[in-house]
Amino acid sequence: MTSNIGDAMKNLSKIVCVVDPTTKTQHAVSRASWLARLTGAELNLFICYYNEYLSGDRFFDSRSLAKARQEVVDGHLEYLESLAAPLRESGLNVTTTSTWDHPLHDGVVRHATECNASMVVKDTHYHSGAARILLSNTDWQLIRTVAAPLWLVKPREISDRPVFVAAIDPMNEHDKPAALDDEILITSKMLAAAAGGDLRAFHAYDPRIAIATASANAYLPVSLPMDEIEQQMREQHGKRFNSIVAYHGIREDHAHLISGRTFEELPALAIEQKADVVVMGAVARNRWKRLFVGATAERTLDHLPCDMLIIKPDWFKTPADILHHDEEAA
């Protein structure tokens, strides 16, 4: 598996960091520069901006509006250069890009595709009135449409010995290709090794689903052997889970097979293990549709206390209608 980890490291050659020009503290820049330093990847600092009142869409376009748009783009580029300067001095290979495009998530996807990004890194923020950090519409759209792995950063520092939790689905119960579990584990191992961190594998199974199915298929009221059903389910899931974690060389005491619902158990494990990053796969209904993020995934992601790295199936391509959008130049 060493060669696979080496290949994963080589494939991480360009990190696009989405910079929010409206905030002073840039947690995504901090995390992306940390990643670039670990992997030797090029770091691209990127601002995508749009203002409908300057766009010419609401009113007739004019030279003055075009000039104003260009001034905004240039101003953002200057800001990016101010962020890039100390990073370059520290030895990182840093480029900067400022664009005028909308909506934000499509602009990010187009840029990531055009520059062949190996990973996209973006901040998440607290929403007003919420005690926890909720993913924005832009975050969800990027999860569904960007082909590169997506690292969503929570506003917290990463530990010196970071803990990575690889959440896998060895039963492939959510239309997720089996190869995606391997990719999740290989990527997690590569990052944990590069950071001198710790790797944990996680899978949850819900016996209530099997019990409910058995009850629904019973034509007459029966007393179901619930303990036996749960034990059979644990054995089935355990066999597949133990096989894949053993193949990837993960220690038994670092493999967590848990009875319960993923959206409850994964955040609980992340808190218990003081996880810095949870690595998950995006599920897909089929190859011709956009990635589908189910209710379980939505409830899980919004409750995680740490960073998230979302990985797509290797066959996934960004929907053509996004890539072929006629971008409005400044």
List the beta strands (DSSP E) in the chain: 14-18, 42-49, 94-100, 119-123, 150-153, 163-167, 198-205, 255-259, 277-281, 307-311
The pLDDT tens digits of the residues spanning 292-302 come to 555 566 678 88
Q: How far is residue 241 CA from its own chain's centroid?
A: 22
Residue with tokens 């010995």: 161
pLDDT for the residue 129:
45
The confidence band for 282, taking pLDDT boundaries of 50, 70 and 90, is: confident
What domains are defined for the chain? 2-323 (3.40.50.12370)
Q: Is the pLDDT of residue 26 over 90?
A: yes
- State mean pLDDT over 4-24: 82
The pLDDT tens digits of the residues spanning 62-100 come to 788 888 889 999 999 999 999 999 999 999 999 999 999
pLDDT for the residue 168:
93
23 membership: H or E segment, kind and range: none
Distance CA 163, CA 188 (A): 10
The pLDDT tens digits of the residues spanning 200-211 come to 999 999 887 655
Of the chain, the percentage scoring pLDDT greater than 70 comes to: 78
Phi/psi of residue 137, nearest 5 degrees: -60, -40
Tell me the two tokens of residue 266.
């994964």
Q: How far is residue 229 CA from its own chain's centroid?
A: 34
User: Which range (120-124, 275-279, 319-323) has the least confidence?
Assistant: 319-323
CA atoms within a 13 Å half-sphere pointing along the CA-CB vector of 322: 23
The confidence band for 128, taking pLDDT boundaries of 50, 70 and 90, is: very low
List all residues 6 or more positions away from 271 whose beta carbon is below 8 Å from its beta carbon: 305
Q: Is the pLDDT of residue 239 over 60?
A: yes
Q: Is the pLDDT of residue 196 over 90?
A: yes
Cross-sheet strand order for the sheet of 307-311: 94-100, 42-49, 14-18, 119-123, 150-153, 307-311, 277-281, 163-167, 198-205, 255-259
Nearest Cα neighbor of 153 from 121, 126, 128 is 121
User: Which range (16-30, 91-105, 122-136, 235-249) has the least confidence?
Assistant: 122-136
Can you list the alpha helix ranges (DSSP code H) found in 248-287? 262-272
Phi/psi of residue 19, nearest 5 degrees: -100, 130
pLDDT for the residue 327:
44
DSSP label at residue 285: S
Q: Is the pLDDT of residue 329 over 50?
A: no
Distance CA 41, CA 104 (A): 24
